[in-house]
Amino acid sequence: MPSTKNRLYYATLLAVFIILAGTLGYTLIEGWSPLESLYMTIITVATIGYGEIKPLSSGGRIFTIFIILFGVGNVAYLVGQLTKAMVEGSLLKVMGRRRLETQIRNLQDHYILCGYGRIGRLIANEISTKPLPLIIIENHPEVIEQLEKDGRLYIRGDASDEDNLRAAGIQTAVGLISAVSSDADNLYIVLTARDLNPELFILSRASEERSIKKLQGAGADQVISPYLIGARKMAQTILRPAVADFLESTAHSSDGMDLAMEEIRVMPASEIKDVTLLESNIRRDLDLIVIAIKTAEGRMLFNPSATARIQVGDTLIAVGQRRNMARLCRLLGADQMSKPQYHRRPR
């Protein structure tokens, strides 16, 4: 069955055809000018009732009957489809927004992203690969359109407004990422968010290096400058190209390599708890390298020895083929990759 959009399209084409045919018909039958013929056709199909602009011949009257039969019916159909399209569009928009609001109200242990510009959109794309529940606060109309195209959960408004942060569920959120372009705006967002939820993990963007300490003082647990990271990465590509290529391959698949670096927590249901790394056979069976273990107490063991023991609550940081990470995840008793554990700055 054709959609409303298709029916509207075909009805419009037919209306244009009838108007052109009517204009041509009156010109040929009555010898009127094109403007007079067009005017007569329009007032006929629109049923305005102004009457004949000039006396019609018998042939002209018969032609007018056909114009009325086909034209008036098509115009009525076209108006009906236009009305239906507007009503359906409004209803879909209202229903879609209500569904969105319901999803937002049900969020728990989620992340709030403030700003969906170039940096914010890249952050959202990376987070969605985990995936982790994410809601975005944005107030620019053109960016809102992109949010809707991307199918993101969002709140429309200023991220520094307490009401918008509350609407985004800041009280039940795990973390907040402030990624707007202005350091002053980021500073105000961090201050507001920290006041609303003292336990929240806050990550902020900084455009200038001098803003980093200010943002940390305002309550940000971590502050990252994309420009500094970009400059360092470019320098590393020159100084240590092999290292840079390896790190890039763990973040993005390239040249057929599907490497990943992942952190996975050891759960009580783990099949390899209370055993050493050597006894776990992670390297032999899964072809994965455990480069570090973060203990349940928060101590980081870099390049752990083969005798290092895997305990419940530990987090293994491993490197290897992406497809094998899911197997390790199951062995460690987790349904999915572990939720991130953050380093909180002392206050």
Q: Distances from the Cα of 243 to the Cαs of 57, 117, 224, 226, in angstroms?
A: 90, 30, 21, 20
Domains of the chain: 4-102 (1.10.287.70), 111-229 (3.40.50.720), 257-331 (3.30.70.1450)
What does the pLDDT read at residue 321?
A: 85
d(CA 256, CA 245): 13
| 227 phi/psi in degrees, rounded to 5 | -70, -40
* Average pLDDT, integer, range 287-294: 91
d(CA 49, CA 43): 7
- Taking Cα atoms as reference points, which of 191, 158, 194 lies closest to residue 173? 194
- In angstroms, the first-to-last Cα distance of the chain is 63
* Average pLDDT, integer, range 210-221: 92
167 pLDDT more than 60: yes
pLDDT tens-digit map of 100-145: 667 777 788 899 999 999 999 999 998 887 778 999 999 998 898 8
272 pLDDT more than 70: yes
By the 8 A CB rule, do 178 and 190 touch? yes
Tokens describing residue 60: 């002209």
209 pLDDT more than 90: no
* Average pLDDT, integer, range 246-268: 73
63 pLDDT more than 70: yes
By the 8 A CB rule, do 136 and 154 touch? yes
pLDDT tens-digit map of 327-344: 898 888 875 554 555 555
Say which residue, 150 or 95, is predicted with more confidence. Answer: 150
| 198 phi/psi in degrees, rounded to 5 | -65, -20
Give the confidence band of 347 by pLDDT, cuts at 50, 70, 90: low
pLDDT tens-digit map of 225-255: 988 888 888 888 888 888 777 777 766 655 5
Reported as half-sphere exposure (CB side, CA atoms, 13 A), residue 289 has a value of 9
